[in-house]
Homo-oligomer: A and B are copies of this chain.
Amino acid sequence: VSQAEPVRLSREVIVDAFLRITDEEGADAGTLRRLGIELRADPTSIYRHFRDKQELVAAAADRLLSDAFEGFRPSGSWRADVRELCLRGRAVYMTHPGVLLGVATTPTALGTGLLLAEHMLGAIRAAGLEDAEAVLAFEALEDYVVGKAGIDAASDNEGWRQVHAALPAGTFPNLTATASSIYRDPEEAFLYGLDLMLDALEARLERRAEGRGI
């Protein structure tokens, strides 16, 4: 692909460039001026295709979330489906935390990007929770996935271990005792917490099924 001549601008071309830049150079590199260089156009030409930067970021997030959902097929087990969708969500948030976290809080009319959430909530409702409880379980799981990915993507775990190790053992016996083993495998910790939630959800559902006299 020759980058020597200017690129005809469109929403798609701009989103492509934005994701390419944040992919290769990190979230901080996703500025309009950097985008202008990439597209061999004036930085402000982006405003002819997006109302503001937030709208561009939302379009990029929509694309990422759509791709993350693609190929998903329900397995027949609510638990396996919820777990699979959480893993897909985590994976995409880990690769582009900067792009996605801004959108997670600011309401934006996404397209197919919301299919991941739709099917996750669907699996929880199909499990047998009534709506009032299903939305609580969905919110807890969604925010755990999004929040932990955001933290994991940004955290300097090696640095935190050093901070813990340097603490006075008298007042911090637990942090110092575990300083060498903590924050070693965020992925494992994520799965541990996820399975904790799924275990409890399953136990509650079973308990109620028994309660109804099955």
Contact = CB atoms under 8 A, between A and B. Distances in A.
B171 A118 contact: yes
B146 A151 contact: yes
Contact of A156 (B105, B137, B175): B105
Given A143-B148, A147-B146, A175-B121, A197 B193 contact: yes
Interface residues of A, number: 69
Nearest to A182: B135
Contact of A197 (B115, B117, B173, B196): B196
Given A139-B186, A140-B190, A105 B151 contact: yes
Copies in the complex: 2
A162 B131 CA distance: 18
Contacts of A131: 177-178, 181
Nearest to A107: B159
A155 to B, nearest CB: 5
A146 B160 CA distance: 16
A172 interface: yes
Contact of A166 (B106, B109, B140): B109
27 contacts: A105-B155, A105-B156, A107-B160, A114-B175, A118-B171, A118-B173, A119-B174, A121-B174, A122-B173, A133-B192, A134-B178, A135-B181, A135-B184, A135-B189, A137-B193, A137-B196, A139-B182, A140-B196, A143-B147, A144-B147, A144-B193, A146-B147, A147-B147, A195-B200, A196-B200, A199-B203, A200-B203
